Amino acid sequence: MENGSVAAIKPPGVTKITFLVMMGVAGCGKSTLGIAVAQALGWSFIEGDDLHPAKNIAKMAGGTPLNDDDRATWLASLREKMDTYRQIGQPAVVACSALKQKYRDMLDGPDLLYVYLRGSKATIRKRLDARAGHFMGPDMLQSQFDILEEPTGALVLDIEKNPQQLIGEILMAIELPNYQVGMVGLGVMGRNLAQNLQNHGWSVIGFDPAIDQAIVPTLRLASSPAELVASLQTPRKVFVMVPAGESVDEAIKGLLPALSAGDVIIDGGNTHFKDTQRRTEELSKQGILLIGSGVSGGESGALHGPSLMPGGNPNAWPLAQSMFESIAAKTSHGEACVSWMGKGGAGHYVKMVHNAIEYAMMQLTAEIYDLLHRGLGTNNTQVAAAFKQWNQGRLHGYLIELTAQVLTKQDPFTGGHLVDVIADQAAQKGTGKWASQDALDLAVAVPILNAGVEARILSANRELRGMLAKAYPNTTNSSNYSPTLDQIEEALYAAFLLAYAQGMEQIRAASSEYGWEINLANAVSVWRAGCIIRADILELLVQALQQPQSDRHLLLAPIIQSTLNSCSSSLRAVVSGGIERSIPMPAFASAIASFDSVRSATLPANLIQAQRDAFGAHTYQRVDIPGTFHSEW
Amino acid sequence: MENGSVAAIKPPGVTKITFLVMMGVAGCGKSTLGIAVAQALGWSFIEGDDLHPAKNIAKMAGGTPLNDDDRATWLASLREKMDTYRQIGQPAVVACSALKQKYRDMLDGPDLLYVYLRGSKATIRKRLDARAGHFMGPDMLQSQFDILEEPTGALVLDIEKNPQQLIGEILMAIELPNYQVGMVGLGVMGRNLAQNLQNHGWSVIGFDPAIDQAIVPTLRLASSPAELVASLQTPRKVFVMVPAGESVDEAIKGLLPALSAGDVIIDGGNTHFKDTQRRTEELSKQGILLIGSGVSGGESGALHGPSLMPGGNPNAWPLAQSMFESIAAKTSHGEACVSWMGKGGAGHYVKMVHNAIEYAMMQLTAEIYDLLHRGLGTNNTQVAAAFKQWNQGRLHGYLIELTAQVLTKQDPFTGGHLVDVIADQAAQKGTGKWASQDALDLAVAVPILNAGVEARILSANRELRGMLAKAYPNTTNSSNYSPTLDQIEEALYAAFLLAYAQGMEQIRAASSEYGWEINLANAVSVWRAGCIIRADILELLVQALQQPQSDRHLLLAPIIQSTLNSCSSSLRAVVSGGIERSIPMPAFASAIASFDSVRSATLPANLIQAQRDAFGAHTYQRVDIPGTFHSEW
């Protein structure tokens, strides 16, 4: 019976033990071991003796053994408490002597396992002698052995073994699972990622107090972070998929007590890279290896293969790499869209810039839609057709395809185009804003990316826009020069290229400033599938990054030069065409203005420096003589 | 002699006491009182007894009185130490018995005042009996009285009085000044502000360890923050004019021990408003009232009248208002350019946005210069003439005037125009960047202000621009439509107006978010003189703020409507003219794009919301049916 396998112990059909009842005579270690087991499992602990009514305690303290009636009252209270736990789904370890079968019958249930702590009278005598403050004196031990009926169907343990051994035997007996990955946070992203892991053969255990089994029928759920951790193979790997910010700190705090040095936590949320920097450092002091990973592709990507941008503690990567590679999106050549971005916040930084590029690309497509639709009178179907056609060429990519698709979608309420009844107020979640703010700190100019964020802000107040539209009626002449569809394609291609390039240069500057050594080609490569900004244009960028001078600036790569030089006059024409028709094209305007700025050998900043020196003695440099100068103006 | 006035005590021609020598027999309180006085003055303290050679100490410990030879060695050491202090300009309080005139002669100097602590033998006997650990036993007291020669020309104090009284008499005797304002930090801004205060009749004492008297000949300098504080009338008012950041915390830390509840600290640097929020709160817990004040106008403004934007602890304002008003710039109608902006960081916030508007206006003038000079081939003299002419009209303002001025300045090295040899790399100090970053947090769109910051970043890398200029040669056609000078004037006026309006709306949003209740008209009004963005256009804004609907948005004010409606086609033409000539006009492009955005009753953000819902189930609102919707696309 001892060390009996769980198959022999667990009643057939029972998949989950909710109660472990530690039983045996006084002094066998029910409470001590019970508390340790509860801790290991993250379960509650119920001290049966606490439920004795006062009269029982008085009787025992007076040296009188309890009779069966006394025990019946007590066991009924315990049973009641356990039923309460059952109702809320809270598993518990119970310490209760349960010496006779009829006592045990009062507590029994299909989700309960008795753990009988067996020891010789001599061993227990010795333990009781060493113990102080217990209300049952050692002289009552004999009466306990007298009434003890050893259980059947219980897990029997030899109390001579050390506690760690005993805990191990208990965890084995209740078939505590041996999962490969933990998933904390089972919102759509978390559960889709869990499903993706399962689809690739990884065994996953999940935890989320807000999610019940019905929502994730194929996922084993732990009752606590500690149980989740206890159910994982070591070194453990736990994904945290909760909203960025304090929730991540809370989730990590919940996991920490149960984790061991060498375990890996993966934060797959849209966390600010500075938080990831901080957490990587803090956790490494405790030997815990954090990965902060960008996960791109939305709900569908999480399920079918996201683009993954991991960074953090470099020691974590060898432990997690195969898992990341198996769940990542694959390119048409079968390459996994995942690469180690660098230490600290590198992964979340790349994801943040990815999102800023995404904002910019969406805004650029929206401006083209506005120019065609409102500016040139093209209807939705025709605009969709243009995007569809462009998607056959070098603009081929997810956002172009998606734009064609959403423009043709019918509205079930009105029968017209759905896009026409959608409120023109774009929402944002923060990553685009963070990217703009950090670009300012780094002194990197990313005007197209900023325009994407600003345009969403500008769109927010519809009512005010309605009032201002009345105050400022459109008086522009619509008979102006109209750009052709080919020119618009060239303009959009150039603007996309410039937006990517600005994002890449921001990543380069951040990598240098924060010491991450990010390989830009790796960043571009992982965006080729799974994520929203995937597009053929990325192949051009990969190529460009192999060309001379691209290590200095992407726009210096010959392949980018020839592309932009052939498209820039169309870009110019399209922006002018928009401005002349009062079509707001902030992202396109930023594209041409920043392009013309960086390719201007001279800029009028000399006037600004002159002004600054004239009013504030801020000094200036000269182009012809080295040094710092100040003039009396 | 007792309580003798300083006129009677101080040698003629001596303006500053460097040493106070506390003298008298053992037990009279030389060290105790000396230390307290040193603390009150922020001076050093020298314990004369510490300089006795070992043999003197042994003699005294053995009960043998010192002879004159013993004392001569000792006093020579003390004299040497005092001379060292003299050399570095460090004032000190010295404790030294100096019982005989010939001893005193050994130490004397024109910058030294003896403070004789006179007491009866009985009083001193009692004190010595109560004292332990001193190497001079009470039995030697009689020998001290025997050789004591009471001094002439000294300040004589009665040791029966309480220490606070005695300290007060000493401070009075050395004529410790009674200034109205303290100025900590005497860089150009600090000393010009001090001079401005003096010019308006305020008595000022300064402190800056890095500045010596030769640089500020008319300013009394304290030797320490404590001496500065001790020299001020209460409630004290201390300006802190040091670089923003940790230096401000350091300066405040230096002042705090000497300040009392109700005193006012004024931080007049370009401090981040969040630091001012924090410091206002922290200091108020100690009863210290912080004013964080924007000070605009550069060096010249500080001297002749700056525009002042105070905020912080509202209880400070009644104490500082008259001072602020007397030193502030005055409008042509004599109104002082200062108003209380609001609590906490309100003042520094308004100054930060002021700087962002300044960046934008400078960039807008630079773009016009570039369009005229590089785009249309107008030479510097002609461009200057245009600005000069514009300055006669509604564009009249400091930056327009300054632009005309700097464009005509001759270069002493080349004989050409100075502006032509100034390197076209604009520097920045941080406030513009902070404004853009906070606008993003507030979700306020300020694209023209952002463009001002971005343009400076874009200008920074001259070498890269040179390389990119070769990679992307200009192929645009210069035979395009050329905007006229009148159109350019209208465009510049409209762009200035839009830049001010964006800044005002940012202040409005911040005031609402942070609970400051800033009166926008006050902010505009204080910019009418003294500061760099002063211009006639502000009168238009003041007027606009009194008009209906301006509380909703500045662009809704009828006077702004009529102005912008008459200028917008020129704005449009100028931007197109620039784009077609490859002249980068990022601030102008942002002006027209953001203007067209906010006056668009519909924007293509509906497409963005459709895209977001299609790839991420982010949901959307409809224009026709209330609620939140999600579609399967």
Q: Out of A584, A590, A624, whose CB is closest to B597?
A: A584
pLDDT in the model for residue B39: 76
Average pLDDT, chain A: 91
Contact flag B425-A471 (C-beta cutoff 8 Å) = no
Name the residue in chain A with its Cα closest to that of B440: A433
The listed CATH number (2.40.50.100, 1.20.5.320, 1.10.10.1590, 1.20.120.160) that belongs to domain A602-633 = 1.20.5.320
User: Could you confirm whether domain A181-344 is CATH 3.30.9.10?
Assistant: no
Asked if A444 is an interface residue toward chain B (Cβ–Cβ < 8 A), one would say yes
Q: Which of residues 228-247 of B touch A (CB under 8 A)?
A: none
Query: With a CB-CB cutoff of 8 Å, which residues 449-478 of chain B face chain A?
Result: 450-451, 453-460, 464-469, 471-476
**Residue B4 · residue B155 · CB < 8 Å:** yes
Q: Which among A372, A334, A271 has a CA at the least distance from the CA of A581?
A: A372
Rounded Cα distance between B432 and B437, Å, is 9
Strands (E), A154-275: 155-158, 181-184, 204-207, 220-221, 237-240, 264-267
Question: Cα(A437)–Cα(A424) distance, rounded to whole angstroms?
Answer: 25
| Residue B399 touches partner A, C-beta closer than 8 Å | yes
What phi, psi does B37 have (nearest 5°)?
A: -65, -45
CB contact under 8 A, B454 and A467: no
**Whether pLDDT at B400 is above 60:** yes
* C-alpha span between B468 and A603 (Å, rounded): 13
Beta-carbon separation of B409 and A633 below 8 A:
yes
The pLDDT tens digits for B12-29 are: 344 578 899 999 998 899
> Is residue A185 within 8 Å of A240, Cβ to Cβ?
yes
Decide if A610 touches B, using CB distance below 8 A: yes
Q: Is the pTM of this model over 0.90?
A: no
Q: What percent of chain A has pLDDT over 90?
A: 75
Out of B532, B601, B606, closest to residue A466 by CB: B601
Nearest to B316 by CA among B295, B287, B349, B336: B287
pLDDT digits (tens, 9 = 90+) for A151-178: 988 999 999 988 877 887 887 677 667 8
Tokens representing A72 are: 């019946």
CA B437 to chain centre: 22
Alpha-helical runs (H) found in B89-162: 101-107, 121-130, 141-147
Q: Comparing A27-31, A221-225, A313-317, which segment has the lowest mean pLDDT?
A: A221-225
Q: What are A280-300's pLDDT values in tens digits?
A: 999 999 999 999 999 999 889
C-alpha to C-alpha distance for A508 and A520, rounded to whole angstroms: 7
| Interface contact A604-B454, CB threshold 8 A | no
Distances (CA, A) of B613 to A368, A472, B370, B607: 19, 32, 44, 10
Q: Tell which of A378, A403, A440 to mutate to test the B interface (max B CBs under 10 Å).
A: A440
Check residue A9 and give its pLDDT: 44
Residue pair B439/B506 in contact (Cβ under 8 Å)? The answer is yes
Contact assessment for residue B383 and residue B369, using Cβ atoms and an 8 Å cutoff: yes
pLDDT the model gives residue A12: 38
User: Pick from B365, B182, B187, B361: which is nearest to B270 by CA?
Assistant: B187
Domain boundaries, chain B: 19-173, 181-344, 352-598, 602-633
DSSP code at position A374: I
What is the rounded distance in angstroms from the CA atom of residue A545 to the CA atom of residue A566?
Answer: 20
- List the single residue in B427, B472, B609 with the smallest CB-CB distance to A564: B472
Map tokens 């030193």 to a residue: B327
- The predicted model gives B510-525 an average pLDDT of 96
Per-residue confidence band for B103, with pLDDT thresholds at 50, 70 and 90: very high
Q: What is the pLDDT, as a whole number, of residue A627?
A: 94
Q: Quick count: other Cβ atoms within 10 Å of Cβ A317?
A: 19
* Residue corresponding to tokens 């401070």: B171
- In the β-sheet with B92-95, what is the strand arrangement from edge to edge? B44-47, B92-95, B19-23, B112-118, B155-158
DSSP string, A288-328: -EEEEEEEESHHHHHHH--EEEEEE-GGGHHHHHHHHHHHS
- Structure confidence by residue, pLDDT tens digits, A24-57: 998 899 999 999 888 777 788 999 989 999 898 8
A225 neighbors A197 (Cβ within 8 angstroms): no
Contacts of B373 (CB under 8 A, 6+ apart): A604, B379, B380, B383
The percentage of residues in chain A with a pLDDT greater than 70, rounded to a whole number, is 95
- Give the mean model confidence (pLDDT) for residues B209-219: 91
Residue A82 burial (CB count, 10 A): 23
Check residue B7 and give its pLDDT: 34
Q: Domain B19-173 is in which class?
A: alpha beta
Taking CB atoms and an 8 Å limit, are B424 and A604 in contact across chains? yes
pLDDT-based confidence at residue B173 (cuts at 50, 70, 90): confident
- Select which of A237, A351, A433, A489 is catalytic: A351
Q: Mark yes or no for CB contact B598/A299 under 8 Å.
A: no
Query: What per-residue confidence (pLDDT) applies to B136?
Result: 55
- Print burial letters for A560-587: b (CB count within 10 Å at least 16), e (below 16): bbebbeebbbbbbbbbbbbbbbbbbbbb
Q: Which of A29, A154, A175 is CA-nearest to residue A97?
A: A29
B30, containing H or E segment? helix B30-41
pLDDT 10s digits, A554-565: 999 999 999 999
Which of A532, A585, A604 lies closest to B369 in CB terms? A604
**B305 three-class SS:** coil
| Per-residue confidence (pLDDT) for residue A139, from 0 to 100 | 67
- The whole-angstrom distance between A381's CA and the closest CA on chain B is 14
Mutate to test the interface with B, among A477, A556, A603 (most CBs of B within 10 A): A603
A388 labelled catalytic: no
pLDDT-based confidence at A132, cuts 50/70/90?
low
CA torsion B297-B303-B309-B315 (nearest 10°) is: 170
Of the ranges A36-40, A581-585, B320-324, B442-446, which one carries the lowest mean pLDDT score?
Answer: A36-40
Q: How many CB atoms sit inside 10 A of residue B18's CB?
A: 20
Task: Name the catalytic one among B343, B351, B367, B454.
Answer: B351
- Bridge pairing between strands A92-95 and A44-47: parallel
Q: And the tokens for B578?
A: 């620039």
Of B476, B595, B605, Cβ closest to residue A456:
B605
Q: How far apart are CA B486 and CA B210, in angstroms?
A: 52
B515-540 average pLDDT score: 95
CA distances from A436 to A40, A426, B506 (A): 45, 17, 17
- Report the run of H or E that residue B508 belongs to, with start and end: helix B485-514
Using pLDDT thresholds of 50, 70 and 90, give the confidence band for residue B347.
very high
Report pLDDT for B88: 79
Which chain B residues in 271-290 lie under 8 Å from chain A, judged by CB atoms?
none
Q: Which residue type does B225 have?
A: P
User: A614 CB near a chain B CB, below 8 Å?
Assistant: yes
* Tokens matching residue A22: 């530690």
- Ordered strands of the B237-240 beta sheet: B220-221, B204-207, B181-184, B237-240, B264-267, B289-296, B307-312, B342-343
With a pLDDT cut of 70, the percent of chain B lying above it is 95
The arithmetic mean of pLDDT across residues A422-434, rounded, is 91
Return the CATH number of the domain spanning residue range B352-598.
1.10.1040.10
Interface test with B, best of A365, A429, A608 (most B CBs within 10 A): A608
- Residue A457 with chain B: CB contacts under 8 Å: 443-445
CB contacts < 8 Å between A and B, how many?
392
A321 touching B, CB under 8 A?
no
Which one of the listed residues B358, B367, B454, B489 is annotated catalytic? B358
* The domains spanning A19-173 and A181-344 adopt the same CATH topology: yes
Cα distances (angstroms) measured from residue B308 to each of A289, B206, B432, B434? 52, 20, 18, 19
Q: Which chain A residue has its CA at the smallest distance from B554's CA?
A: A468
pLDDT of A6 reads: 35
C-alpha distance from residue B69 to each of B59, B60, B96, B485 (Å): 13, 14, 16, 92
Determine contact, residues B581/A575, Cβ cutoff 8 Å.
Answer: no
Model pLDDT, residue A138? 58
Q: CA–CA separation, A134 vs A29, rounded Å?
A: 13
Distance from the A340 Cα atom to the nearest Cα atom in chain B, whole angstroms = 25
The answer to whether B296 contacts chain A (CB < 8 Å) is: no
Instruction: Report which residue type is found at B106.
Output: M
Name the helix (H) or strand (E) containing A471. helix A462-471
- Residue B534: count other Cβ atoms within 10 Å of its Cβ: 24
pLDDT for the residue numbered B478: 59
8 A C-beta contact, residue A587 and residue A455 = yes
**Which chain B residue has its CA at the smallest distance from A580's CA?**
B572
Q: Dmax over Cα atoms in chain B, in whole Å?
A: 109
User: Do the Cβ atoms of B402 and A614 come within 8 Å?
Assistant: yes
Which of B440, B579, B610 minimises the CB distance to A575?
B579
Integer Cα distance of A532 and A37 in angstroms: 47
> What is the pLDDT, as a whole number, of residue A133?
58
Minimum distance, in Å, between the CA of residue B185 and any CA atom of chain A: 18
Above 70 in pLDDT, residue B5? Answer: no
A chain contacts of residue B467, beta-carbon cutoff 8 Å: 549, 552-553, 556
Residues of B in contact with A451 (CB under 8 A): 447, 593
Q: Which of A394, A352, A10 is nearest to A176 (CA)?
A: A10
For range A561-588, the mean pLDDT: 95
Q: Is A358 a catalytic residue?
A: yes
Cα(A380)–Cα(A401) distance, integer angstroms:
14
Evaluate the omega torsion of the peptide bond into residue B235 and state whether it is cis, within 30 degrees of 0: yes
Q: Is A263 within 8 Å of chain B by CB? A: no
Supply the pLDDT for residue B131. Answer: 73
pLDDT over 60 (residue A384): yes
